[in-house]
């Protein structure tokens, strides 16, 4: 059944990829994408449950569609993503005008769900089994990966793509809802991953980011051979057209020296490592059940610095986790000062129903203290990022051009000459510079003359033209 489709995506890279897959599968059966919900026959929300704020925003967006559905009952509204798996029936209770709820492990059913709804079916719930609702095998089976088709038109740029190598998580950090919403850790076969990478290369992809919740824990046991992430990266190198490989997100304890050696030795693997520490305090790490001490994190970080000296390391932190004292917070500040991360994503702890922390640990840090710690850590991190970025002034970096920057988009069509473009270095640093939008998808040298905490600002050297490429190099 053909029609018009609107999809809104929030959350992590996994969701971005899921949306790409869902849209590809629906385009195949005749749907076309539209930019406004009110113009669509089917409206999808791809949701996130990692923090309460993201869920509140989704419920409020759903609330705003109540009238539209009343006036146009033939329009179908579906909720997918982590909130669908976590809240299930509750979504129908809070938003009775929703037609179906589909978890991230059941996306292969989405075209049928929309069809049934358009034929007048009652509210449909398509979710995976809970972590205690069956044998491991049955639970795994109910969380399927959904990677059927690649659609370059659905990506922000056709030159960059995500490729899922692992789904789910078995780490069960006490604050985190992901092991419940995305199910048990399962790794795709190396053959499947290689095939998909070939398809992406044929579509003109230059940069691929391998995705997994704990991507460096990737391990696939096949006939007589075990493949780990390092082995997979080696195998993938012979796909010539792909110039850059990245992988996110890493788990500190699984950052093996073999993997770091692969990062060091494979010229196309980016020297960018996102390895969330979450806290710099052993007592907090213990309450989070992160499975390592801050000494072990430091040891890992020192090993990265030793083996891949120019690596850009980034991290995530949660501030105001249950019982976090000033002293414990300052241990996190210490770690940030010491590690000098390229950047850190900093979050205020948000209690998540269904997690161990929600069950066992009181959310006792007042909101204003969470807020203050968030600001303090962010300003320390930003100062470090800006200082480190300043070291790029005068240097030329290799940039994969992604298209117009935000400013470039605002001024597009209003001024003559080059527009402001944006792109990334191999180490994932954002660079803006003026140029012709036709350079999108090219790898260009850019000379940096100014910086902020989050951006390098540069210009194309005068001699630069479309054919000029820098020698391949995985660091900045």
The two three-digit tokens of residue 315, written as one number: 């991290």
State how far Cα 397 lies from the chain centre: 24
Can you tell me which of 84, 176, 180, 275 binds ligand 5AD, judged by CB under 6 A?
A: 176
Tell me if 401 sits within 8 A of 446, measured CB to CB.
no
Residue 358 near ligand 5AD by CB under 6 A: no
Can you tell me which of 49, 145, 214, 227 binds ligand SF4, judged by CB under 6 A?
A: 214
Residue 59 near ligand SF4 by CB under 6 A: no
The two three-digit tokens of residue 69, written as one number: 């559905």
d(CA 299, CA 255): 11
Can you tell me which of 278, 332, 405, 442 binds ligand 5AD, judged by CB under 6 A?
A: 278
The two three-digit tokens of residue 134, written as one number: 């069956």
Which residues, 6+ apart, have CB-to-CB distance to 364 below 8 Å? Answer: 322, 323
Can you tell me which of 179, 212, 423, 475 binds ligand SF4, judged by CB under 6 A?
A: 179
Can you tell me which of 84, 113, 285, 318 binds ligand 5AD, judged by CB under 6 A?
A: 318
Residue 198 near ligand SF4 by CB under 6 A: no
Residue 150 near ligand 5AD by CB under 6 A: no
d(CA 131, CA 184): 8
Residue 141: is the preceding peptide bond cis (ω within 30°)? no
User: Which residue, 154 or 176, is less far from ligand 5AD as judged by CB?
Assistant: 176
Tell me if 77 sits within 8 A of 43, measured CB to CB.
yes
Can you tell me which of 170, 219, 316, 434 binds ligand 5AD, judged by CB under 6 A?
A: 316
The count of other CB atoms within 10 Å of the CB of residue 44 is 26
Residue 175 near ligand 5AD by CB under 6 A: yes
CB of 52 to ligand 5AD, least distance (A): 8
Tell me if 218 sits within 8 A of 255, measured CB to CB.
no
Residue 272 binding partner per list ligand 5AD, ligand SF4, none, with a CB distance cut-off of 5 to 8 Å that depends on partner kind? none
**DSSP single-letter state for residue 387:** H
User: Which residue, 163 or 176, is less far from ligand 5AD as judged by CB?
Assistant: 176
Q: What does the binding site for ligand 5AD look like in residue numbers (CB under 6 A)?
A: 50-51, 175-176, 276, 278, 316, 318, 347, 349-350, 352
Q: What does the binding site for ligand SF4 look like in residue numbers (CB under 6 A)?
A: 169, 171-173, 176, 178-179, 213-214, 251
């Amino acid at each position: 059944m053909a029609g018009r489709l609107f999809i809104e995506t929030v959350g992590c890279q996994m969701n971005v990829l899921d949306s790409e897959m869902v849209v590809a599968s629906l385009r195949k059966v005749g749907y076309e994408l539209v930019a406004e919900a009110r113009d669509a026959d089917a409206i999808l929300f791809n949701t996130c449950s990692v923090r309460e704020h993201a869920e509140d925003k989704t419920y409020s967006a759903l609330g705003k569609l109540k009238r539209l559905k009343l006036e146009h009952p033939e329009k179908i509204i579906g909720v997918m993503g982590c909130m669908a798996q976590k809240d299930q029936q509750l979504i129908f209770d809070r938003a009775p005008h929703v037609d179906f709820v589909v978890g991230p492990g059941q996306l292969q059913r989405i075209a049928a769900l929309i069809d049934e709804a358009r034929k007048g079916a009652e509210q449909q719930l398509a979710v995976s089994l809970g972590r205690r609702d069956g044998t491991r095998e049955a639970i795994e089976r109910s969380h399927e990966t959904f990677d059927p088709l690649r659609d370059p038109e659905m990506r922000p740029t056709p030159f960059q793509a995500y490729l899922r190598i692992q789904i789910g998580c078995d780490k069960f950090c006490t604050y985190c809802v992901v092991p419940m919403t995305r199910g048990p850790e399962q790794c795709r076969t190396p053959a499947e991953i290689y095939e998909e990478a070939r398809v992406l290369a044929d579509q003109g992809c230059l940069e691929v980011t391998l995705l997994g919740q704990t991507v460096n824990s990737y391990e696939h046991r096949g006939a007589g051979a075990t493949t780990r992430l390092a082995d997979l990266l080696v195998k993938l190198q012979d796909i010539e057209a792909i110039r850059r490989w990245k992988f996110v997100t890493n788990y500190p304890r699984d950052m093996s020296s073999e993997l770091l050696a692969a990062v060091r030795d494979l010229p196309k693997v980016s020297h960018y490592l996102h390895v969330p520490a979450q806290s710099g305090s052993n007592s907090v790490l213990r309450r989070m059940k992160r499975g390592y001490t801050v000494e072990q994190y430091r040891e890992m970080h020192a090993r990265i610095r030793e083996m891949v000296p120019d690596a850009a390391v980034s991290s995530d932190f949660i501030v105001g986790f249950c019982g976090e004292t000033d002293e414990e917070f300052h241990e996190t500040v210490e770690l940030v000062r010491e590690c000098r991360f390229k950047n850190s994503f900093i979050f205020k702890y948000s209690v998540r129903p269904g997690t161990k922390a929600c069950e066992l640990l009181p959310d006792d840090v007042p909101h204003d203290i969470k807020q203050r710690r968030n600001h303090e850590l962010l300003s320390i991190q930003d100062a470090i990022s800006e200082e480190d970025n300043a070291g790029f002034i005068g240097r030329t970096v290799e940039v994969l051009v992604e298209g117009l920057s935000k400013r470039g988009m605002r001024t597009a069509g209003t001024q003559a000459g080059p527009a402001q473009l944006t792109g990334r270095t191999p180490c994932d640093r954002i660079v803006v510079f003026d140029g012709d939008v036709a350079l999108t998808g090219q790898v260009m040298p850019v000379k940096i003359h100014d910086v902020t905490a989050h951006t390098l600002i540069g210009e194309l050297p005068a001699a630069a033209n479309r054919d000029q490429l820098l020698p391949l190099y995985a660091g900045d």
